[in-house]
Amino acid sequence: MKTIIENAVKKAMDYSSYNLLFKQLVEEGRTTGEQTQEKIDYTKLNFSRTKRLDKTAEISEERIAIFKNVPEKQTWLVISEPWCGDAAQTLPFLNKIAQLSENIELKIVLRDENPELMHQFLTNGSQSIPIVIMLDENLNVLQTFGPRSKAATKLVTDYKTKNGKIDDAFKEILQIWYNNDKGVSLVNDILETLVENVVVQKS
């Protein structure tokens, strides 16, 4: 697995490069991977959501202070795709966190171009994204996070239990939840993941 991770990090994009790809895809009416109209439409929608969150996403002062105190170099390697709605809600916050700490470097790879990597980080057997792989300076895995916060995951699980599957109606419900939550659950869970693994100094 170490070699797979090393190869992925070498070819990974930074956040700016990922957004440039995002912008180009939208301008050309394309997406990554399979060119279905649904994925092309979601790519366009997600680009708008990402741009909005880049401008409006906020992290509380208390959490900012903790993220600034990450004591050791880390790479956060994120498996993503522009058509993924959860990724569009997550990456802007990850970028803001990484900007707070000189010890966190955010890197992004596309799921469908990295099947070997994705296979190492399945969620209950599925290729759910985004997945954040937190790596130390030697590219050893510290912890993983994703594809959603615990609160959003419960929302998904409860809906699937009741309705048997995720449908378009739920996607609207989830989007409303994201809008109301404003990234609080995501940031709290990321922070909890860091603290649990003793990679953050609390003060």
- pLDDT, tens digit, for every residue of 99-145? 999 999 999 999 999 999 999 999 999 999 999 999 999 999 999 99
CA dist list (Å): 41 to 47, 83, 91, 148: 10, 8, 19, 22
pLDDT of residue 76: 98
pLDDT digits over 149-203, tens only?
A: 999 999 999 999 999 999 989 999 999 999 999 999 999 999 999 877 654 444 4
pLDDT digits over 43-90, tens only?
A: 999 999 999 999 999 999 999 999 999 989 999 999 999 999 999 999
Longest CA span, the chain = 49
CB–CB of 171/152 below 8 Å? Answer: no
User: In terms of DSSP bridges, do strands 104-110 and 74-80 run parallel, antiparallel, or are they unpaired?
Assistant: parallel
2-196: in CATH 3.20.20.120: no
Domain ranges of the chain: 2-196
Rounded distance between C-alpha atoms, residue 192 and residue 195, angstroms: 5
Rounded distance between C-alpha atoms, residue 158 and residue 90, angstroms: 21
Three-state DSSP state, 188: helix
Q: What is the pTM of this model?
A: 0.94
pLDDT of residue 158: 96
CB–CB of 114/23 below 8 Å? Answer: no
Residue 74: phi, psi to the nearest 5? -140, 150
Mean pLDDT of 30-42: 96
Residue 75: phi, psi to the nearest 5? -115, 125
Three-state DSSP state, 60: coil
CA atoms within 13 A on the CB side of 45: 15
Rounded distance between C-alpha atoms, residue 46 and residue 53, angstroms: 10
